[in-house]
Amino acid sequence: MRAPNILIAAAVGLGCAVLFCAEPAFAYVTCNMSGDCWKTDTQVKWPGVTLLYHDDNWWDENKNDQRYRMRDVDDQHNWRRGYWENGRWYKG
């Protein structure tokens, strides 16, 4: 009878792992002075660029505010390799 319990526990564990790995965990919303905002998991720094940091909930609370342009991370716009400024992507 132990085998079915082990299989159930393994299936639950695998399901949780897939769920948590499906989307990256972000901790911050990073915004520049021109209103471009994007999600990061650390407070990134770029020389000569002023960035503001908000907690992850700030994104949902402000996504409809016309002052901000929410930018999604994709292969061409990865926050580890660049940043937004005045609607333009700069590679770092």
Q: Which of residues 12 and 77 earns the better pLDDT score?
A: 77
Q: CA-CA distance, 8 to 75, in Å (whole number)? A: 36
Ranges of each domain in the chain: 28-91
**Mean pLDDT calculated for residue range 2-13:** 52
Q: CA-CA distance, 29 to 62, in Å (whole number)? A: 11
Structure tokens at 6: 């082990």
pLDDT in tens, 74-89: 778 888 888 888 888 8
Position 18 scores a pLDDT of 41
Q: Mean of the per-residue pLDDT values for the chain?
A: 79
pTM of the model: 0.67
